[in-house]
Amino acid sequence: MRPALLVLPLFALLCALLVRPALADTRAVYHGGVYFGSVVVEPGQIVEGDLTVIFGDATIEGVVEGDLNILGGSVDPRPGGIVTGQVHQVGGTVAQAVVPWAPSDVEESPLLPDGRLLWRISWNLLALLVFLIFPLRTRMVLDRLERHPGWCAAAGVIGCVAIIPLAVLLAITILLIPLVPLEFVCVFAGAFLGTAALALLIGRRLCELVSPATTPSPLLALLVGLVLITAAELVPVLGTLVLVLVGLIGLGATLLSFATESVGVPTSGPPATTA
């Protein structure tokens, strides 16, 4: 069976997991800290310290004496729920440090297609920056996309599934806990790199269709591709699938490029330049 056919059911499952949080895994919290998955502050409960929730929702029915940071989820305030500090939803101070021009107060997740266009521009600018800094690596990821799109999607599914278990394993070792933030940084960097390569591929194909006699510059092709991807992500409902698909295949292509390089598989073609 072809790899692309194996990916389809896994991709559908991944879309469901990303678009709709797993409320069945919601757990009560009684003190501040970092939590993976959805949490709830029960009525009458006072949580002292900042509360950070990663890849989950935060239901606030009690009191949080500190800041509330939500990464990859949303906040659900209930009657009687109080947050004495600031509420940062999907990004907050962390994203502001990386993307200072992004909006700080958003009612919806910027990962959803109905989010603000400014988040799309911020994401695209970071992908453009990654391309300018790592043109050779982008070319290697692009080569994986062109030659093995099915395996890129499969690698993306495996990578996404392995994120949380790997973080748990690092946390269990105690000594390797500092590597947990590094893991998420690497995942986001891989997603940006894959997005740049995928946009470069899409933009180049479109430019070749419009003007077959000329070869577009990589920078022009990248900009055209980013515009097309952004436009597709802003389409209601369908945009969510496009967003997940771009991140999934992009991350998989990045992982595949490092894997093939480590075993000595060469990539074809010269490195891309920004000229």
Q: What is the pLDDT along the chain (275 residues), one digit of tens a residue?
A: 344 333 444 444 444 444 443 334 578 888 888 888 889 999 989 999 889 887 778 899 999 999 888 876 788 888 889 999 888 875 444 444 444 444 444 444 444 444 457 777 788 888 888 898 989 989 999 999 988 888 998 998 998 888 888 888 888 887 888 888 888 888 888 888 999 999 999 999 998 888 888 888 888 899 999 999 888 877 777 877 888 888 889 989 999 888 876 555 444 444 444 44
Answer yes or no: do 58 and 177 share one domain: no
Query: Is residue 3 within 8 Å of 150, Cβ to Cβ?
Result: yes
Answer yes or no: do 124 and 248 share one domain: yes
pLDDT of the residue at 263: 55
Answer yes or no: do 71 and 120 share one domain: no
Residue 14 placed within a domain: no
Residue 45 placed within a domain: yes
Nearest alpha carbon to residue 25 among 64, 3, 53: 53
Residue 82 placed within a domain: yes
- The total domain count for the chain is 2
Which of 98, 122, 143 is a domain's end point?
98
Answer yes or no: do 85 and 201 share one domain: no
Residue 11 placed within a domain: no
Answer yes or no: do 59 and 147 share one domain: no
Q: For residue 87, give both structure tokens.
A: 């509420």
Query: Is residue 228 within 8 Å of 210, Cβ to Cβ?
Result: no
Residue 103 placed within a domain: no
Answer yes or no: do 123 and 217 share one domain: yes
Answer yes or no: do 59 and 129 share one domain: no
Which of 70, 98, 126 is a domain's end point?
98
Answer yes or no: do 118 and 179 share one domain: yes
Q: For residue 172, give both structure tokens.
A: 């269990």
Classify strands 82-83 and 63-65 as parallel, antiparallel or unpaired.
parallel
Tokens 């109080």, located at residue: 82
pTM given for the model: 0.56
Residue 44 placed within a domain: yes
Distances (CA, A) of 132 to 18, 196, 219, 228: 30, 10, 9, 19
Which of 76, 98, 120 is a domain's end point?
98
Residue 239 placed within a domain: yes
Q: For residue 240, give both structure tokens.
A: 């969510």
Query: Is residue 4 within 8 Å of 150, Cβ to Cβ?
Result: yes
Residue 17 placed within a domain: no
Phi, psi of 26, deg, nearest 5: -65, 135
Taking the C-alpha atoms of residue 100 and residue 79, their distance in angstroms, rounded to an integer, is 33
Provide the residue range defining the domain that includes 130: 112-262
